[in-house]
Chains A and B, each alone.
With several copies, the nearest count.
Chain A
Amino acid sequence: MSFEFSTSTIDGEQLKQSLMSPYCGGYSSFEGWVRDHNEGHSVSKLEYEAYEALAVKEGECILQEAIDKFDIKEASCVHRVGALDIGDMAVWVGVSAAHRDAAFKACRYIIDQVKVRVPIWKKEHYLDGDSGWVNCEH
C-alpha cells in the first residue's frame, strides 16, 4: 500500500509489479489523462501542486479505507505534480484482489476519494491565453 507523488512520468507497469500475488485473480487500474478540454474551454497544458505532507497522509488513509471496506490484496496510487501536457498521465490507481468485483469497487473508491479529499490543486492554461486554478476561480 503506497500513496506517492511523482515529478516524472508515471510507470504503471512497474508499479503493478508490487501489487501482484499468486493469490490474486483480478487487477483493476485507473489512469487519469490530461484532456484537451474542460467545461467548454480548450486546455493547452496544466500544473499540479500538492501540499505533499498532508496529501500523503490523506492518500494513505484512503488506501487503508479501501483495504478495510473491500476484499482486496493491495492498492497503490501515484499522482503527478508539476507541469503536464495534453495526454500525460496525471494520476494512476492500481488494485489487486482475489476477485474482480472487489478490485473494481476499491479502484473506483480510491480515485473518487482522492479527487475530493486530497490537497492537490490544478491550474489549467487555456488556448486563449487565460489560466486558472480549477474550483477556486471564476
Chain B
Amino acid sequence: MKSIKIEYYALFREQAGLSNEEIQTDAQNVDALYKELKSRHGFSMCSTQLRVAVNEEFKDWSSDLEDGDSIVFIPPVAGG
C-alpha cells in the first residue's frame, strides 16, 4: 500500500467535500488512482477532460504512483 496526498480544487473540492486527504491505495498509476477516487467521491468528470499534477508538475495519466506522492487533478481551466 502507498500513502498518497491529494489536494482538491474547484469542482473537485465541492464534489469531494474535502480540500485534501491522505489515502492508502494499491493503484499502480495516476489514472487508476483517479478511477478509484471518482468512484468513491462521485466525481462527474472523466480523466480525458482533465490534466493531473504529481508533486507540483504536470504529468501523464500513465505515470507510476509512488509512496508519498502529492496529487492534484486539474479540471478544465478558466482564468482571465
Contact of A120 among B44, B56, B72, B79 (CB under 8 A): B79
Main secondary structure of the interface of A (DSSP, over half): mixed
Q: In angstroms, how far is the closest chain B Cβ from the Cβ of A90?
A: 7
> What chain B residues lie within 8 Å of A120 (beta carbons)?
77-80
Any chain A CB within 8 A of the CB of B74? yes
Per-position binary interface string of chain A over residues 121-138, scored 1 when its CB falls under 8 Å from any chain B CB and 0 otherwise:
111000000000111110
CB-based nearest A residue for B10:
A121
Inter-chain residue pair count (beta carbon < 8 A):
76
> What chain B residues lie within 8 Å of A69 (beta carbons)?
none
Query: Within the assembled complex, what's the spacing in Å between the Cα atoms of A25 and B58?
Result: 29
Q: In angstroms, how far is the closest chain A Cβ from the Cβ of B34?
A: 15
Contact of B80 among A53, A58, A111 (CB under 8 A): A111
The number of chain B residues touching the other chain, given as a range, is 20 to 34
Q: In angstroms, how far is the closest chain B Cβ from the Cβ of A115?
A: 4
Query: Within the assembled complex, what's the spacing in Å between the Cα atoms of A29 and B45?
Result: 35
| Residue contact B79 to A51, C-beta cutoff 8 Å | no
Any chain A CB within 8 A of the CB of B7? yes
Any chain B CB within 8 A of the CB of A67? no
Per-position binary interface string of chain B over residues 55-66, scored 1 when its CB falls under 8 Å from any chain A CB and 0 otherwise:
011100000000
Per-position binary interface string of chain B over residues 1-45, scored 1 when its CB falls under 8 Å from any chain A CB and 0 otherwise:
000000101110110000000000000000000000000000011
A51-B7, A51-B9, A133-B11 given; A122·B74 CB < 8 A: no
Chain A residues packing against B (C-beta within 8 Å): 32, 48-51, 53-54, 57-58, 79, 90-91, 100, 111, 114-123, 133-137
